[in-house]
């Protein structure tokens, strides 16, 4: 009887062994989540891990979006040109449905954005131009700044566009969704790379392209319906799009600051109620909470600054600060240099310092502020007219010190102020920096609470006023008073030493 069961027993053991092998093979077989370059989307679709390098992200983007060459004659709209009021009627119907169906409309998220499908000469061609030429580090501006690094610092147009047009299965943001029907849109995004075209095209070629972009956008029915009030225009470098942007002053501009000097933006062109301040892309590597903890004992320099020591306009404060601080104990002030060597020196200096000086540049803002934030170095901001990104959401008093220019240049005042800050207060600010840094790291895919996400959360606060001014402009008659404009003219005053 035992012998008769032996073949069966052997067969069962063999089957068990095969099952075990199959299980082990399945357990160790590669899956999308095993790939170090991918992670899983909440709906279990594989996506790439966040890439914060502009060049690396652009390489991946262009590989995934091999845009075919096409005729630049693109249909302005899918709507018949002989029915100019059809878009307005469709928008009315859609928004009326939302009004009665959504108890939080128009304050609810996600924001619905229509992305224009512009000719490739305004989009992909410019990205390829940068991609094929960024290694030319000898290419400098008149004041010695590396052109391609400036493009990276102001590349907010790329990060926002890359997220908006990514497949929904690969996106993580819940604050914004791309719609493909204009009547469903809250806002319209203009994907024109104004900074790349300014720096990498010949002057006349650039101006011609600007005029073409202007005509293309302003010929759109959606633009004419609102006069551009619900259109988003990325002009993050203050020199970009300068020759024609007065014709698009109603649009929502994405800016590095407001520039109250009038050197870069004309009066009435920019104001906080209409436009949005976005952070520069940091030029140094991210120092996370572990890095901040590990570098704490190495931060032996009290105050550090590396950058251009002489600037124009509001940036003249730099030369005064250099005269006041140079040679003082615990202070390191260095003239910045271009290239990877300069980046490495700036990163090393910031990670060895308790405080990082952030004075105004040619405009009130400076990229040094965001380099300091992601380095765990407490920013000391000396820029009386500065406007900050996402200040409706973030409280910068918790991560930076604000000092007025008049106090900062007084003999001995600034260093005395910094030396009197309690260690416990410094530690608290450092902990806040570790939490806040994520808000200034652009990435692909865009991350929740990253700068791309905060853009749309801030935009949500503008939507009611955008709709108000759009509809008001549509119904006023020619005898009415001038269309009211809501400008922010009050000067920005800084109180020294407040956290």
Q: What is the mean pLDDT of residues 297-310?
A: 89
What integer pLDDT is reported at residue 3 of this predicted model? 45
Q: Which of 56-60, 324-328, 487-491 has the lowest mean pLDDT?
A: 487-491
Spatial CB neighbours of 31, under 8 Å, sequence gap ≥ 6: none
Q: Which of 19-28, 83-92, 119-128, 454-463 has the lowest mean pLDDT?
A: 19-28
What integer pLDDT is reported at residue 183 of this predicted model? 94
Identify the burial level of 113 via C-beta atoms within 10 angstroms of its C-beta, where 0-12 means exposed, 13-18 middle and 19 or more buried: buried
pLDDT in tens, 206-228: 999 999 999 999 999 999 999 99
Identify the burial level of 379 via C-beta atoms within 10 angstroms of its C-beta, where 0-12 means exposed, 13-18 middle and 19 or more buried: buried
What integer pLDDT is reported at residue 85 of this predicted model? 80
From residue 23, alpha-carbon distances to 19, 35, 90, 324 in Å are: 6, 20, 56, 71
Return the higher-pLDDT residue of 199 and 21. Answer: 199
For residue 155, name the pLDDT band (cuts at 50, 70, 90). very high
pLDDT in tens, 456-486: 999 999 999 999 999 888 888 876 665 555 5
Spatial CB neighbours of 245, under 8 Å, sequence gap ≥ 6: 233, 235, 253, 269
What integer pLDDT is reported at residue 361 of this predicted model? 77
What integer pLDDT is reported at residue 477 of this predicted model? 80
Rounded to whole angstroms, how far apart are CA atoms 343 and 429?
A: 24
What integer pLDDT is reported at residue 196 of this predicted model? 95
Return the higher-pLDDT residue of 477 and 55. Answer: 55
For residue 311, name the pLDDT band (cuts at 50, 70, 90). low
Spatial CB neighbours of 395, under 8 Å, sequence gap ≥ 6: none
Quick check: 430 pLDDT over 90?
Answer: yes
Residue 285 DSSP class: -
Q: Which of 26-40, 104-118, 161-175, 396-410 has the lowest mean pLDDT?
A: 26-40
Rounded to whole angstroms, how far apart are CA atoms 332 and 349?
A: 8
Q: Could you tell me the pTM of the whole model?
A: 0.83
Residue 381 DSSP class: E
Pairing of strands 111-115, 187-189: parallel
From residue 338, alpha-carbon distances to 57, 150, 341 in Å are: 22, 11, 7
3-state DSSP helix/strand/coil percent for the chain, to nearest 5?
45, 10, 45
Mean per-residue pLDDT over the chain, rounded:
83
What integer pLDDT is reported at residue 81 of this predicted model? 43
Q: Please state whether the peptide bond connecting residue 445 to the residue before it is cis, i.e. omega within 30 degrees of 0.
A: yes
Pairing of strands 231-234, 252-255: parallel
Highest mean predicted confidence (pLDDT) among 1-10, 331-340, 452-461: 452-461
Report the percent of the chain where pLDDT is more than 90: 59
For residue 339, name the pLDDT band (cuts at 50, 70, 90). low
Nearest of 452, 463, 458, 453 to residue 107 by alpha carbon: 463
Q: Domains of the chain (ranges plus CATH)? A: 60-277 (no CATH), 289-440 (3.40.50.2000)
What integer pLDDT is reported at residue 21 of this predicted model? 44
What integer pLDDT is reported at residue 32 of this predicted model? 36
What integer pLDDT is reported at residue 149 of this predicted model? 87
Can you read off the two tokens belonging to residue 53?
């390098």
Rounded to whole angstroms, how far apart are CA atoms 342 and 348?
A: 10
Name the CA radius of gyration of the chain, rounded. Answer: 27
Q: Please state whether the peptide bond connecting residue 110 to the residue before it is cis, i.e. omega within 30 degrees of 0.
A: yes
pLDDT in tens, 69-113: 443 333 334 444 435 588 888 988 998 998 999 898 888 899 999
Quick check: 147 pLDDT over 90?
Answer: no
**Sign of the torsion angle spanned by Cα atoms 17, 22, 26, 29:** positive
Rounded to whole angstroms, how far apart are CA atoms 442 and 64?
A: 19
Rounded to whole angstroms, how far apart are CA atoms 209 and 215?
A: 10
Return the higher-pLDDT residue of 134 and 397. Answer: 397
Nearest of 488, 385, 393, 483 to residue 438 by alpha carbon: 393
Quick check: 290 pLDDT over 70?
Answer: yes
Quick check: 281 pLDDT over 70?
Answer: yes
Rounded to whole angstroms, how far apart are CA atoms 211 and 448?
A: 36
For residue 8, name the pLDDT band (cuts at 50, 70, 90). low
Return the higher-pLDDT residue of 434 and 484. Answer: 434
Largest CA distance in the chain: 110
* Contact call for residues 308 and 301 (beta carbons, < 8 A): no
Query: What is the number of helices (H) and of strands (E) in the chain?
Result: 18, 13
């Amino acid at each position: 009887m035992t012998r008769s069961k032996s073949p069966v027993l052997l067969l069962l053991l063999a089957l068990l062994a095969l099952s075990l092998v199959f299980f082990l093979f399945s357990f160790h077989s590669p899956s999308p989540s095993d790939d170090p370059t991918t992670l899983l989307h909440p709906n279990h679709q594989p996506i790439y891990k966040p890439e914060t390098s502009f060049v690396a992200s652009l390489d991946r983007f262009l590989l995934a979006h091999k845009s075919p060459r096409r005729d630049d004659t693109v249909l302005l709209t899918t709507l018949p040109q002989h029915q100019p009021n059809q878009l307005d009627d469709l928008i009315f119907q859609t928004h009326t449905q939302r009004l009665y169906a959504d108890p939080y409309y128009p304050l609810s998220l996600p924001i619905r954005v229509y992305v224009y499908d512009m000719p490739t000469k305004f989009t992909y061609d410019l990205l390829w131009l940068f991609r094929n030429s960024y290694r030319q580090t000898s290419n400098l501006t008149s004041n010695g700044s590396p052109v391609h690094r400036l493009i990276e610092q102001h590349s907010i147009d790329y990060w926002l566009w890359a997220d908006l047009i990514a497949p929904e299965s690969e996106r993580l943001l819940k604050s914004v969704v791309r719609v493909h029907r204009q009547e469903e849109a809250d806002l319209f995004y203009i994907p024109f790379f104004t900074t790349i075209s300014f720096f990498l095209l010949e002057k006349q070629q650039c101006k011609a392209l600007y005029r073409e972009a202007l005509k293309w956008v302003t010929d759109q029915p959606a633009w004419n319906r609102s006069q551009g009030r619900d259109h988003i225009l990325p002009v993050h470098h203050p020199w970009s799009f300068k020759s024609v942007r007065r014709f698009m002053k109603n649009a929502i501009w994405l800016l590095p600051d407001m520039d109250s000097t009038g050197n870069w933006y004309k009066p009435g062109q920019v104001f906080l109620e209409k436009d949005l301040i976005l952070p520069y892309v940091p030029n140094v590597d991210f120092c996370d909470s572990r890095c901040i903890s590990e570098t704490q004992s190495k931060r032996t320099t009290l105050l550090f600054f590396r950058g251009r020591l002489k600037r124009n306009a509001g940036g003249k404060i730099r030369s005064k600060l250099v005269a006041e601080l140079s040679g003082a104990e615990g202070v390191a002030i260095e003239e910045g240099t271009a290239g990877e060597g300069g980046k490495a020196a700036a990163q090393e200096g910031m990670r060895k310092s308790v405080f990082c000086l952030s004075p105004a540049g040619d405009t009130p803002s400076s990229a040094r502020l965001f380099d300091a934030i992601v380095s765990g170095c407490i920013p000391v901001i000396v820029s009386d007219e500065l406007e900050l990104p996402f200040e409706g959401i973030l409280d910068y008093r918790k991560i930076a010190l604000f000092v007025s220019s008049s106090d900062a240049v007084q003999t001995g005042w600034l260093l005395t102020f910094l030396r009197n800050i309690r260690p416990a207060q410094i530690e608290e600010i450092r902990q806040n920096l570790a939490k806040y840094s994520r808000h200034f790291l652009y990435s692909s895919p865009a991350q929740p609470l990253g700068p791309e996400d905060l853009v749309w959360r801030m935009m949500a606060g503008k939507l009611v006023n955008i709709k108000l001014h759009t509809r008001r402009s549509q119904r006023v008659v020619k005898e009415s008073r001038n269309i009211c404009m809501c400008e922010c003219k009050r000067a920005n005053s800084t109180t020294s030493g407040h956290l």
